A = this chain, B = another copy of it.
């Protein structure tokens, strides 16, 4: 797949301003992750300045963990749409409660998203299926396996077509599709599910890369998820070597993105264009 290395490097040069309307649990991690990748974070989330603030931004990330800030997301999202600024959605726990199901519907109706990144339960919920997840995690039943991959890809493509968005599904195998092209990523590690914010941080990274390559949302999403996966592998190696735990893993993960190189991306990425 072309352009991934260029997008990564371009981001360090351009230092895109990434506006995030995001939740209070992982907001600090998202900001530091954007800085690690070379971007500049802005975490303003109030309705009264949402539309004005986004005008200076190179990308807007709407994280539905901040369910109380949906109004700001819609105002900023519409403004971003009108200015050609890419908008990225993280539909946190989308199927978890009726409030979240309705909020997700409303956001999809009001705003066009360049990329939607979630776990499989969240994405299935957006596609109108009945799921629950477990808190912010995917339900075990929903997990994509080698067996159900073709069916999962078919649904993801359909959702990409319906929404006009790149759909990026995190899991043991990540699946990313813009309806025409579908990519599988097999980077990542188990430790990423032992910290809060892995999902939010990868969405923030995608926002950062979209901010530097707004005409290439599929490639930006693939770059974000691959960088995150490889950084996770490096951080897990450190954790196992040093006998540390999930708190240090979180720091090592952000550090790994800080020290990431194009060479590392080219050498360690495990991506495959899906033919099916």
CB distance from A43 to the nearest CB of B (A): 5
Query: A134 near B: Cβ within 8 Å?
Result: yes
Q: Which residues of B contact A46 (CB under 8 A)?
A: 67-68, 99
* Interface positions of A from 23 to 72, Cβ below 8 Å from B: 23-29, 31-32, 35-36, 40-44, 46, 48-49, 52-53, 56-57, 65, 67-68
Contact mask for chain A residues 63-86; partner B; CB cutoff 8 A; 1 contact, 0 none: 001011000000000000000000
Q: Which residues of B contact A57 (CB under 8 A)?
A: 135
Please state if B254 and A41 are interface contacts (CB–CB under 8 Å): no
Q: Which 6 A-B pairs have the closest CB atoms?
A: A245-B258, A245-B255, A42-B135, A247-B254, A31-B196, A247-B251
Q: A-side interface residues toward B, CB under 8 Å?
A: 17, 19, 23-29, 31-32, 35-36, 40-44, 46, 48-49, 52-53, 56-57, 65, 67-68, 93, 96-100, 132, 134-137, 194-197, 243-248, 250-259
